[in-house]
């Protein structure tokens, strides 16, 4: 999935994310070893492809981001997916 760039929307098939995200989701809450916040950000960015509203709520809970990713990039990605979903529904 990495890196998340504007073309990622075309490359990451929603059907694949629907299959993959439940596997990622299990790691998001594991206690030993816990997943780092930076990696959670990437998982939520993937989630935005299939459920941008939930992803938006999730990314707002993050306190830190990966060195190769920023809060701004993460928010931009998720909000773009949310805007696309709203546009598709119109």
Query: Cβ neighbours of residue 4 under 8 Å, at least 6 residues apart?
Result: 42, 45, 69, 73, 77
Structure-token pair, residue 58: 């999730």
Pick from 73, 58, 54: which is nearest to 5 by CA? 73
Hunting for tokens 């760039």 — which residue is that? 5
Q: What is the pTM of this model?
A: 0.90
Q: What is the pLDDT along the chain (90 residues), one digit of tens a residue?
A: 888 888 888 889 999 999 999 998 889 988 899 899 989 999 999 999 999 999 999 999 999 999 889 999 999 999 999 998 888 887
């Amino acid at each position: 999935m990495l890196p998340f760039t504007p073309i990622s929307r075309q490359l990451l098939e929603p059907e694949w994310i629907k299959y993959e995200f439940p596997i990622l989701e299990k790691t998001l809450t594991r206690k030993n070893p816990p997943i780092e916040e930076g990696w959670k950000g990437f998982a939520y960015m993937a989630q935005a492809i299939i459920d941008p509203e939930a992803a938006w709520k999730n990314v707002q809970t993050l306190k830190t981001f990966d060195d190769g990713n920023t809060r701004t990039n993460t928010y931009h990605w998720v909000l773009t997916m949310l805007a696309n979903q709203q546009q598709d529904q119109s």
